[in-house]
Amino acid sequence: MHGEITLFSGNSNRALAQRICQRLGHNLAACRVGRFSDGEIRVEVDANVRGRDVFLIQSTCAPANDHLMEVLIMAEACKRASAGRITAVIPYFGYARQDRKVAPRQPITARLVANLIQAAGLDRVLTMDLHAGQIQGFFDIPVDNLYAQPMFFQFLREEIVTGDPGSYVMVSPDAGGVERVRSYARRLHTNLAIIDKRRSGPNQAEVMHIIGDVAGKTAILLDDMIDTAGTLTNAAHAVANAGAEKVYAVATHPVFSGPAVTRMAESPFDRIFVTDTIPLTPEAAALEGMYVLNTAPIFADAIRAIHFDDSISRLFLPD
């Protein structure tokens, strides 16, 4: 076990940080994160961290650059104040989609962010549903990637898939999410379907056809995030046109950038289930059928396990 646990929060998701602290029975330690007059980030740590086990809770959601710099500067401040160990708790890990070169002369920005995190003196990273799991290999420090799946699975089983499992179908909006959908379908004993799409440009997707039967069923579309919502809403229209009786969306990270809110509002979704890894904008929160699941218990359990050098594998849903 390391020194006394101490938790700080940046400005990205203070509400989630408060819920994590309540679950752990701790208060957020005093830390002021603001701006100088020229816009540079200013951090003042007002709590003693010498020898402490420090956890910095900060999603790198929009504005991603500001929130990333906040956690880096907070880590630098704690390192220089002789913190015993520093863990970045990043519920939503930004830049994760830039994990490989898809065209000449493109950067692998996820690797750059990993280097920055390590250079700032962080000893460990705790995150949830990385867009690309291989990003863990960009780090030379431990990275614990939690999954929202156990929470969603329990919620769906208790609240949504309560009737004949044959009347529900888990739908992957693209081929990349097939394994995720298959896992849900197997555990919930439902059917599955796949949307075959062809992407025509960045943040654009064209639905081609549906592999599987959705007619007369409740279609539950699963994804790791809702960004511009193009892929998800195209898939929703496709399954609705194919005769789905109801259409639900399930996604971990509610990014909701650009036209996402408008697209979701104009889509056939009856209900939308997301988590609180990213705080919703007022417009997104006002979407009809929006429901937010609380991830604080998962993060609190993981923080407690890390603090006591215990295994966190029990938080994963076994195959």
Query: What amino acid is encoded at 267 in this protein?
Result: S
Q: Distance between CA atoms of 119 and 8, rounded to whole angstroms? A: 19
Count CB-CB contacts under 10 A for residue 52. 22
Query: What amino acid is encoded at 55 in this protein?
Result: F
Tokens of 16: 């989630």
DSSP string, 196-223: EEEEEETTEEEEEEEES--TTSEEEEEE
Contact 276, 108 (CB under 8 A): no
Task: Establish how many alpha carbons lie within 13 A of residue 12's alpha carbon, considering only the half-sphere containing its beta carbon.
Answer: 27
Catalytic residues: 197
Q: Distance between CA atoms of 249 and 67, rounded to whole angstroms? A: 27
Q: Distance between CA atoms of 175 and 159, rounded to whole angstroms? A: 27
Q: Evaluate the omega torsion of the peptide bond into residue 63 and state whether it is cis, within 30 degrees of 0.
A: yes
